[in-house]
Structure 1
């Protein structure tokens, strides 16, 4: 027979039930249709119990979105650190690009909702979505600095933020393409995300618009589907260009 729950454990379990119920309701009908009474009913608790855990509906939505987005940022950070710790590892580099795609694909409704509300200033979920995008930008800039990209002046820092935004936008757009079936091959999407870094690599040596392009960066990209190129050779080239 299981031991009875402590008061703290029971309270944590009820809070989780409320958060789980809110997530289901948000994904089914959107944030605007969420109400404290509806969440309590979905969770199977009394209406007054809701206010023992959250001050308001917005407080609940903020707690839910913070939990979800903090988990996402932590997982992305883990993969980023693994890639930095093994700069010559093609597998680690590709996994860094694959992880956000897999996470977004695992929660497609939440991903689409986060994109929809990102520019809604009054939305607690939108606020968390914007915070995640900003934190991800900061994390990517930190990674680029660790990889040796120039960052001393304001112009160089600005370019690093542009590079980070390019990666964020490309990941989100390609994830949507994967979910819609337009881009069904996840490995091919990862190939493209790795290739995006090919152009941004020039920022390491860029000190102005007059900078010349190294001959290596002018080389054609192997056709992933050709008999001569193949996926393996394409990945090897990508790794040399991005490490």
Structure 2
């Protein structure tokens, strides 16, 4: 008997997960060049191969679908960044590891990060807030790491949050460039990545000479 004939039948839960995945993938395709506000339930369900009423078995609203895309976009990145920071690496090592992780994630999940870059600045207030929350989590985790680094022991919370914010803003801006059409050119992409590394190193150099602010 063939493998196909002896394969176990797909369970109800497996069918549900497959349909949910089809909806999410169809949404990313629909949002490749347009904002979330342009998403049409009729076009989306047609692309996913389901009837419109079946959508509501998986998501109560389009915003809930958008929140799932936000969570997917950050979920793997969160885990990888935590792994990068394991062992309290030196600042230069942390920069290189973080840039490498970001570049790989952007290449593997380009559609997700194009969606994030677009929705961070406009569109649904619900999605903007969710994205802001995810970035705030990155910033708070980075503050904890920075506080353990040599030379920053005297820094207060305000200083550490400013430094962490600079890093997060730099990474977000670089992510937008690295998923843009111009980054498809290998030479341009290499230059963007090198610029990102140098900008991050400049932030570290500036931090070394920073005189900590007094706590309010």
Q: TM-score, normalised by structure 1?
A: 0.70
Deviation at 1:27, TM superposition (A): 1.9
Is 2:201 aligned against 1:206?
no
- How many Å separate the matches in 2 of 1:41 and 1:20? 12
- How many Å separate the matches in 1 of 2:16 and 2:189? 44
Q: Which residue is 1:192 aligned to? A: 199
Gaps of 5+ in 1: 209-243
Q: Aligned in 2, Cα 1:165/1:61: closer, same or farther, shift over 3 Å?
A: same
Q: Which residue is 1:216 aligned to? A: none
Q: Aligned in 2, Cα 1:183/1:173: closer, same or farther, shift over 3 Å?
A: farther
Range 142-151 or range 157-166, more displaced = 142-151
Greater CA radius of gyration, 1 or 2? 1
Q: Which residue is 1:44 aligned to? A: 49
Q: What is the 5 A alignment of 1:1-243?
A: 1=4, 2-81=7-86, 85=87, 87=89, 93-104=95-106, 106-108=108-110, 110-120=112-122, 122-148=124-150, 149-150=152-153, 156-177=156-177, 179=180, 180=182, 184-185=190-191, 186-202=193-209, 206=212
Stretches of 4+ moved more than 6 A in 1?
Answer: none
Q: Aligned in 2, Cα 1:151/1:49: closer, same or farther, shift over 3 Å?
A: farther
- How many Å separate the matches in 2 of 1:176 and 1:116? 9
Q: TM-score, normalised by structure 2?
A: 0.78
Instruction: Provide, for residues 94-150 of structure 1, a one-character-per-residue CA deviation record: whole Å limited to 9, x for no partner.
Output: 112332244335555543442333244843332222112111111110111232533
Q: Which residue is 1:234 aligned to? A: none
Instruction: Provide, for residues 51-87 of structure 1, a one-character-per-residue CA deviation record: whole Å limited to 9, x for no partner.
Output: 1111111111111211222222222222222xxx163
RMSD between aligned residues: 2.8
Q: Aligned in 2, Cα 1:69/1:87: closer, same or farther, shift over 3 Å?
A: closer
Aligned length: 201
Q: Aligned in 2, Cα 1:144/1:58: closer, same or farther, shift over 3 Å?
A: same
Q: Aligned in 2, Cα 1:104/1:60: closer, same or farther, shift over 3 Å?
A: same
Deviation at 1:16, TM superposition (A): 0.8
The answer as to whether partners of 1:94 and 1:194 remain within 8 angstroms in 2 is: no
Q: Which residue is 1:213 aligned to? A: none
